[in-house]
Amino acid sequence: MTADEKTSLAEFLDLAAAVTGSGYRGEKREYHFSDDADSGKAAANVPVADTDAADDSLEKVAAAVRACTACKLETTRKNAVPGEGVLNPLVMVIGEGPGADEDETGRPFVGRAGQLLDKMLASIGLSRDSNCFIANVIKCRPPANRDPQPDETAACASFLERQIRIIKPRFILCAGRIAAHTLLNTTEPIGKLRGKFVDFQMGDLTLPFLATYHPSALLRNEDLKRPAWEDLKLLRTAIEEAVK
Protein backbone atom coordinates (compact mmCIF):
# COMPACT_ATOMS: atom_id res chain seq x y z
CA MET A 1 0.00 0.00 0.00
CA THR A 2 1.33 3.44 -0.87
CA ALA A 3 1.61 6.28 1.63
CA ASP A 4 -1.19 8.17 -0.16
CA GLU A 5 -3.46 5.10 -0.03
CA LYS A 6 -2.81 4.68 3.69
CA THR A 7 -3.55 8.36 4.34
CA SER A 8 -6.80 8.18 2.36
CA LEU A 9 -7.87 5.07 4.27
CA ALA A 10 -7.04 6.58 7.66
CA GLU A 11 -8.89 9.82 6.84
CA PHE A 12 -11.92 7.85 5.63
CA LEU A 13 -11.99 5.82 8.86
CA ASP A 14 -11.73 9.01 10.92
CA LEU A 15 -14.68 10.50 9.04
CA ALA A 16 -16.72 7.29 9.28
CA ALA A 17 -16.11 7.09 13.02
CA ALA A 18 -17.23 10.69 13.43
CA VAL A 19 -20.42 10.19 11.41
CA THR A 20 -21.39 6.90 13.05
CA GLY A 21 -20.07 7.75 16.51
CA SER A 22 -20.28 11.05 18.32
CA GLY A 23 -21.27 13.03 15.21
CA TYR A 24 -18.38 15.37 15.95
CA ARG A 25 -15.35 15.58 13.70
CA GLY A 26 -12.38 16.07 15.95
CA GLU A 27 -9.19 17.86 15.16
CA LYS A 28 -7.76 16.59 11.87
CA ARG A 29 -4.84 14.26 12.42
CA GLU A 30 -1.59 14.41 10.54
CA TYR A 31 -0.33 11.13 9.12
CA HIS A 32 3.22 10.23 8.18
CA PHE A 33 2.95 6.92 6.39
CA SER A 34 5.54 5.37 4.12
CA ASP A 35 5.08 3.19 1.07
CA ASP A 36 5.21 -0.55 1.60
CA ALA A 37 8.07 -2.30 -0.15
CA ASP A 38 5.54 -4.25 -2.21
CA SER A 39 2.42 -2.14 -2.34
CA GLY A 40 0.44 -4.66 -4.38
CA LYS A 41 1.02 -7.42 -1.84
CA ALA A 42 0.28 -5.19 1.13
CA ALA A 43 -2.95 -3.94 -0.39
CA ALA A 44 -4.10 -7.51 -0.92
CA ASN A 45 -3.54 -8.20 2.76
CA VAL A 46 -5.58 -5.31 4.15
CA PRO A 47 -8.47 -6.89 6.11
CA VAL A 48 -11.96 -6.06 4.95
CA ALA A 49 -15.30 -6.64 6.64
CA ASP A 50 -16.97 -9.90 5.69
CA THR A 51 -19.59 -9.09 3.06
CA ASP A 52 -21.84 -11.95 4.21
CA ALA A 53 -22.38 -11.09 7.87
CA ALA A 54 -24.88 -13.93 8.35
CA ASP A 55 -22.15 -16.43 7.52
CA ASP A 56 -19.47 -14.80 9.66
CA SER A 57 -18.19 -16.28 12.93
CA LEU A 58 -15.73 -15.60 15.70
CA GLU A 59 -13.65 -18.50 14.44
CA LYS A 60 -13.38 -16.87 11.01
CA VAL A 61 -12.40 -13.55 12.56
CA ALA A 62 -9.78 -15.24 14.75
CA ALA A 63 -8.30 -17.06 11.77
CA ALA A 64 -8.15 -13.82 9.78
CA VAL A 65 -6.49 -12.00 12.69
CA ARG A 66 -3.82 -14.66 13.05
CA ALA A 67 -3.11 -14.62 9.32
CA CYS A 68 -3.14 -10.83 9.00
CA THR A 69 -0.09 -9.09 7.52
CA ALA A 70 -1.74 -5.70 6.92
CA CYS A 71 0.59 -3.66 9.14
CA LYS A 72 4.13 -3.80 10.48
CA LEU A 73 3.08 -5.32 13.82
CA GLU A 74 2.90 -8.73 12.15
CA THR A 75 6.70 -8.65 11.95
CA THR A 76 7.20 -8.18 15.71
CA ARG A 77 4.34 -10.13 17.30
CA LYS A 78 4.66 -13.60 18.76
CA ASN A 79 0.93 -14.24 18.80
CA ALA A 80 -1.99 -12.23 17.52
CA VAL A 81 -4.75 -11.81 20.12
CA PRO A 82 -8.24 -11.99 18.56
CA GLY A 83 -10.20 -11.92 21.83
CA GLU A 84 -12.26 -14.35 23.87
CA GLY A 85 -15.59 -14.75 25.61
CA VAL A 86 -19.15 -15.73 24.84
CA LEU A 87 -21.70 -14.99 22.15
CA ASN A 88 -24.49 -12.53 22.98
CA PRO A 89 -22.71 -11.23 26.08
CA LEU A 90 -24.09 -8.69 28.46
CA VAL A 91 -20.87 -6.71 28.09
CA MET A 92 -18.11 -6.44 25.53
CA VAL A 93 -14.94 -5.08 27.07
CA ILE A 94 -12.68 -3.29 24.59
CA GLY A 95 -9.15 -2.34 25.53
CA GLU A 96 -6.21 -0.83 23.71
CA GLY A 97 -4.03 -3.75 22.64
CA PRO A 98 -2.07 -6.78 23.82
CA GLY A 99 0.85 -6.49 26.21
CA ALA A 100 3.76 -8.85 26.77
CA ASP A 101 1.73 -11.55 28.55
CA GLU A 102 -0.99 -11.44 25.93
CA ASP A 103 1.59 -11.61 23.13
CA GLU A 104 3.02 -14.75 24.76
CA THR A 105 -0.31 -16.52 25.22
CA GLY A 106 -2.52 -15.19 22.41
CA ARG A 107 -5.21 -14.34 24.99
CA PRO A 108 -6.51 -10.88 25.98
CA PHE A 109 -6.02 -9.32 29.42
CA VAL A 110 -4.09 -12.12 31.15
CA GLY A 111 -1.28 -10.13 32.78
CA ARG A 112 -1.52 -8.12 36.01
CA ALA A 113 -3.94 -5.65 34.42
CA GLY A 114 -6.02 -8.53 33.10
CA GLN A 115 -6.18 -10.20 36.47
CA LEU A 116 -7.40 -6.92 37.95
CA LEU A 117 -9.95 -6.60 35.16
CA ASP A 118 -11.31 -10.06 35.97
CA LYS A 119 -11.72 -9.02 39.61
CA MET A 120 -13.41 -5.77 38.59
CA LEU A 121 -15.87 -7.62 36.37
CA ALA A 122 -16.51 -10.28 39.02
CA SER A 123 -17.41 -7.53 41.51
CA ILE A 124 -20.53 -6.79 39.44
CA GLY A 125 -21.32 -10.34 38.41
CA LEU A 126 -19.48 -10.46 35.08
CA SER A 127 -17.01 -12.99 33.67
CA ARG A 128 -15.41 -13.76 30.34
CA ASP A 129 -16.49 -17.36 30.91
CA SER A 130 -20.21 -16.67 31.15
CA ASN A 131 -21.44 -13.24 30.08
CA CYS A 132 -18.60 -11.12 28.64
CA PHE A 133 -16.45 -10.90 25.56
CA ILE A 134 -13.02 -9.27 25.82
CA ALA A 135 -11.14 -7.80 22.88
CA ASN A 136 -8.83 -4.94 21.91
CA VAL A 137 -8.80 -2.19 19.33
CA ILE A 138 -5.63 -3.70 17.86
CA LYS A 139 -4.88 -7.40 17.83
CA CYS A 140 -1.06 -7.42 17.94
CA ARG A 141 1.30 -5.98 20.54
CA PRO A 142 3.08 -2.75 19.60
CA PRO A 143 6.80 -2.90 20.42
CA ALA A 144 7.52 -1.82 24.01
CA ASN A 145 3.77 -1.29 24.50
CA ARG A 146 3.88 2.03 22.67
CA ASP A 147 0.60 3.65 21.59
CA PRO A 148 -0.89 2.12 18.44
CA GLN A 149 -0.29 4.13 15.27
CA PRO A 150 -3.15 5.20 12.98
CA ASP A 151 -2.32 2.68 10.25
CA GLU A 152 -2.33 -0.11 12.84
CA THR A 153 -5.77 0.77 14.23
CA ALA A 154 -7.02 1.16 10.65
CA ALA A 155 -5.73 -2.31 9.76
CA CYS A 156 -7.65 -3.84 12.69
CA ALA A 157 -10.85 -1.81 12.41
CA SER A 158 -12.78 -4.38 10.39
CA PHE A 159 -11.92 -7.19 12.81
CA LEU A 160 -13.45 -5.33 15.75
CA GLU A 161 -16.50 -4.34 13.71
CA ARG A 162 -17.07 -7.97 12.71
CA GLN A 163 -16.74 -9.11 16.32
CA ILE A 164 -19.29 -6.56 17.52
CA ARG A 165 -21.77 -7.58 14.85
CA ILE A 166 -21.30 -11.29 15.54
CA ILE A 167 -21.54 -11.28 19.33
CA LYS A 168 -24.19 -8.53 19.63
CA PRO A 169 -23.30 -7.25 23.13
CA ARG A 170 -25.86 -5.43 25.24
CA PHE A 171 -23.24 -2.93 26.49
CA ILE A 172 -19.71 -1.86 25.63
CA LEU A 173 -17.25 -1.16 28.45
CA CYS A 174 -14.27 0.70 27.04
CA ALA A 175 -11.07 0.34 29.06
CA GLY A 176 -8.70 3.24 28.76
CA ARG A 177 -7.83 6.39 26.87
CA ILE A 178 -6.53 4.88 23.64
CA ALA A 179 -9.54 2.65 23.07
CA ALA A 180 -11.97 5.47 23.92
CA HIS A 181 -10.22 7.92 21.61
CA THR A 182 -10.20 5.39 18.78
CA LEU A 183 -13.82 4.29 19.11
CA LEU A 184 -15.30 7.73 19.76
CA ASN A 185 -12.94 9.63 17.45
CA THR A 186 -12.15 12.20 20.11
CA THR A 187 -9.19 13.59 22.01
CA GLU A 188 -11.12 14.37 25.20
CA PRO A 189 -9.28 13.21 28.35
CA ILE A 190 -10.49 9.89 29.71
CA GLY A 191 -11.41 11.67 32.94
CA LYS A 192 -14.05 13.62 31.01
CA LEU A 193 -15.26 10.66 28.96
CA ARG A 194 -15.84 8.29 31.87
CA GLY A 195 -18.74 8.27 34.30
CA LYS A 196 -21.55 8.44 31.75
CA PHE A 197 -23.13 6.36 29.01
CA VAL A 198 -23.04 7.55 25.43
CA ASP A 199 -24.53 5.99 22.31
CA PHE A 200 -21.97 4.12 20.24
CA GLN A 201 -23.20 3.91 16.67
CA MET A 202 -21.82 1.54 14.06
CA GLY A 203 -23.93 1.55 10.95
CA ASP A 204 -27.36 0.28 11.94
CA LEU A 205 -26.23 -0.64 15.46
CA THR A 206 -26.52 1.62 18.49
CA LEU A 207 -25.05 0.34 21.75
CA PRO A 208 -24.73 1.85 25.24
CA PHE A 209 -21.05 2.73 25.66
CA LEU A 210 -19.27 3.41 28.95
CA ALA A 211 -15.63 4.44 29.17
CA THR A 212 -13.52 3.89 32.27
CA TYR A 213 -9.87 3.82 33.26
CA HIS A 214 -7.68 0.99 32.01
CA PRO A 215 -6.81 -1.51 34.76
CA SER A 216 -3.12 -0.78 34.19
CA ALA A 217 -3.80 2.86 35.13
CA LEU A 218 -5.34 1.67 38.41
CA LEU A 219 -2.19 -0.33 39.12
CA ARG A 220 -0.11 2.81 38.64
CA ASN A 221 -2.41 5.19 40.50
CA GLU A 222 -4.64 3.89 43.29
CA ASP A 223 -6.54 7.21 43.38
CA LEU A 224 -8.27 6.09 40.19
CA LYS A 225 -9.79 3.01 41.81
CA ARG A 226 -12.71 4.85 43.37
CA PRO A 227 -13.90 6.53 40.15
CA ALA A 228 -13.43 3.22 38.32
CA TRP A 229 -15.64 1.55 40.94
CA GLU A 230 -18.26 4.26 40.39
CA ASP A 231 -18.18 3.41 36.69
CA LEU A 232 -18.67 -0.27 37.45
CA LYS A 233 -21.63 0.49 39.70
CA LEU A 234 -23.15 2.58 36.91
CA LEU A 235 -22.74 -0.36 34.54
CA ARG A 236 -24.23 -2.77 37.06
CA THR A 237 -27.30 -0.57 37.50
CA ALA A 238 -27.77 -0.31 33.74
CA ILE A 239 -27.50 -4.09 33.35
CA GLU A 240 -30.01 -4.69 36.13
CA GLU A 241 -32.46 -2.36 34.42
CA ALA A 242 -31.90 -3.99 31.03
CA VAL A 243 -32.47 -7.58 32.20
CA LYS A 244 -35.56 -6.96 34.33
pLDDT, tens digit (0-9, with 9 covering 90-100), for 126-165 = 999 999 999 999 999 999 999 999 999 999 999 999 999 9
pLDDT at 41 over 90: no
* pLDDT score, position 45: 37
Residues 144, 124: Cα–Cα separation, whole Å = 32
**Which CATH code, of 3.40.470.10, 3.40.50.2000, 3.90.380.10, 3.30.930.10, is assigned to 3-242?**
3.40.470.10
Measured N-to-C along each axis, helices 3-20 and 150-167 cross at an angle, to the nearest 10 degrees, of 40
Instruction: Please state the domain extents for the chain.
Output: 3-242
Residues 77, 63: Cα–Cα separation, whole Å = 15
* pLDDT score, position 137: 97
pLDDT at 39 over 60: no
* Cβ-proximal residues to 204 (8 Å cutoff; 6+ apart), any chain: none
pLDDT at 19 over 70: no
The region, left, alpha or beta by phi > 0 then psi within -120 to 50, assigned to residue 38 is: beta
Residues 58, 2: Cα–Cα separation, whole Å = 30
Helix, strand, or coil (residue 118): helix
* pLDDT score, position 113: 97
Residues 111, 95: Cα–Cα separation, whole Å = 13
